Amino acid sequence: MAVQYELIKRCSKTGARAGRLHTPHGTFDTPIFMPVGTQATVKAMSPHELKEMGAGIILSNTYHLYLRPGHELVAEAGGLHKFMNWDGGILTDSGGFQVFSLGPLRKITEEGVTFRSHIDGSKQFLSPERATEVQMALGADIIMAFDECVPYPADHDYARKSTERTTRWAERCKGAHTRADQALFGIVQGGMYKDLRSMSVRDLVSLDFPGYAIGGLSVGEPKDLMYEMLEHTVPLLPVNKPRYLMGVGTPDCLVEGVLHGIDMFDCVFPTRVARNGTVMTHQGRLVVKNAEYTRDFRPIDSDCGCYTCRNFSRAYIRHLLKTEEIFGLRLTTIHNLYFLIHFMKKMRQAIIEDRFLEFRAEFWSQYQK
Ligand SMILES: CO[C@@H]1O[C@H](CNc2nc3cc4c(=O)[nH]c(N)nc4cc3[nH]2)[C@H]2OC(C)(C)O[C@@H]12
């Protein structure tokens, strides 16, 4: 198997678990936060900096790379690892979500999805087979089945039909996937309906994937509803396979996701908000661009060991952001990614020492959204 999950410790009171994910590009501790590098780069970060801050697996995106520069060019370069000079783990999303959230004028049929490129408006088509071929050419260690992310809200009938089609598409992806050095994960859908979530898990598990993503969440629903879906869905998944919650997220959602037994997370949030001057601290978010930090010569977070916090003050970073100096958004990006990567390490240690509930209580006593 290209990717193997090793369970190290289960929390005695919750679904939280510590593990290791063995991949062709290394073994990574879980729970893990995976920085998003949509177009074959984690914006403003070098591979060296990502390694130095402890990043293990990063994401790239089929939809974007298929449109530009094209999967054939990446394959010609020797695949994504060579193209971007990253020797850690890579996971590619299948394009399903981006087609629905980025590509205008899309049409879904049993065969696949016709859409217009958000870059030049050209007519494009992705099917389960094509999305799988593209991901095999890109060469990530973990690739995702081509699915429809059920929109929120959606009525039960739409959610059921869409989820049933996603399962049929998952089977077609499995049939088209021929790279033994890659793991194809199935993606659980079902909208916000417990019966459909159960149906999606049952059908995907019967296809026996090496890992399972939970899709259709973090799509605008209230957080409590996301947690309710996780509480219902995660325990239905095989204990010996990795669980990946797509598009999550912020520290509060990461804690609750780990509580319910999620192993892998990704989100654009930390890198995206960094670029407009919002940084994370143990007390919650801080907009370092704000005037109140003009003469604040402390680091962003005195408990943080990142390059930014060891070398620069809030006042300096604010100055760089206000003057639109590129170095400013690099410093905030380094901090936010380091913060989340190390936040996961602290949670993992708490699970191993069987004090995860205490860790969670401490987090919530300090955290302001
Ligand atoms: C909170 O950040 C906004 O929300 C998106 C993250 N939430 C998310 N839920 C997802 C669900 C799926 C899915 O069902 N299937 C596949 N294949 N991939 C997915 C990717 C997903 N990401 C970010 O994506 C944008 C950039 C639209 O805004 C961010």
Alpha carbon of 218 to ligand 1 centroid (Å): 6
> How many domains is the chain partitioned into structurally?
1
H helix or E strand, kind and range, residue 365: helix 356-366
Tell me, yes or no, whether 115 lies in a domain. yes
Handedness of CA 58, 59, 64, 69 (dihedral sign): positive
What pLDDT score does 228 carry?
A: 98
What pLDDT score does 114 carry?
A: 95
82 pLDDT band (50/70/90 cuts)?
very high
Closest atom of ligand 1 to 150 CA is 14
Is 247 touching ligand 1 by the criterion CB < 6 Å?
A: yes
Reading the block at residue 230, the tokens are: 């996780």
Is 149 touching ligand 1 by the criterion CB < 6 Å?
A: yes
Residue 139 has pLDDT above 90, yes or no: yes
- What are the residue numbers of the active site? 93, 266
Q: What average pLDDT is seen over the chain?
A: 96
Residue predicted with more confidence, 367 or 14: 14
306 in a labelled binding site: yes
Residues β-bridged to residue 21? 5, 28
Tell me, yes or no, whether 305 lies in a domain. no
**Residues spanned by the domain of 138:** 4-266
Peptide bond into 78 cis (omega under 30): no
The residue nearest atom 28 of ligand 1, judged by CA position, is 268
Tell me, yes or no, whether 281 lies in a domain. no
**What pLDDT, in 10s, does the model give residues 344-364?**
999 999 999 999 999 999 999
101 pLDDT band (50/70/90 cuts)?
confident
Which domain CATH number covers 132?
Answer: 3.20.20.105
Percent of the chain residues past pLDDT 70, beyond the cut:
99
The residue nearest atom 21 of ligand 1, judged by CA position, is 247
Q: Report ipTM (2 d.p.).
A: 0.97
CA–CA gap between residue 302 and residue 15 (Å, rounded) = 32
Tell me, yes or no, whether 344 lies in a domain. no
96 in a labelled binding site: yes
**What pLDDT, in 10s, does the model give residues 108-132?**
999 999 999 989 999 999 999 999 9
What pLDDT score does 123 carry?
A: 94
Tell me, yes or no, whether 259 lies in a domain. yes
**What pLDDT, in 10s, does the model give residues 154-163?**
999 999 999 9
Tell me, yes or no, whether 148 lies in a domain. yes
Tell me, yes or no, whether 307 lies in a domain. no
Is 219 touching ligand 1 by the criterion CB < 6 Å?
A: yes
Q: How far from chain centre, in Å, is Cα 84?
A: 19
CA–CA gap between residue 222 and residue 329 (Å, rounded) = 30
Q: Could you tell me if 67 and 117 are in contact, meaning their C-beta atoms sit under 8 angstroms apart?
A: yes
CA–CA gap between residue 63 and residue 60 (Å, rounded) = 9
Tell me, yes or no, whether 62 lies in a domain. yes
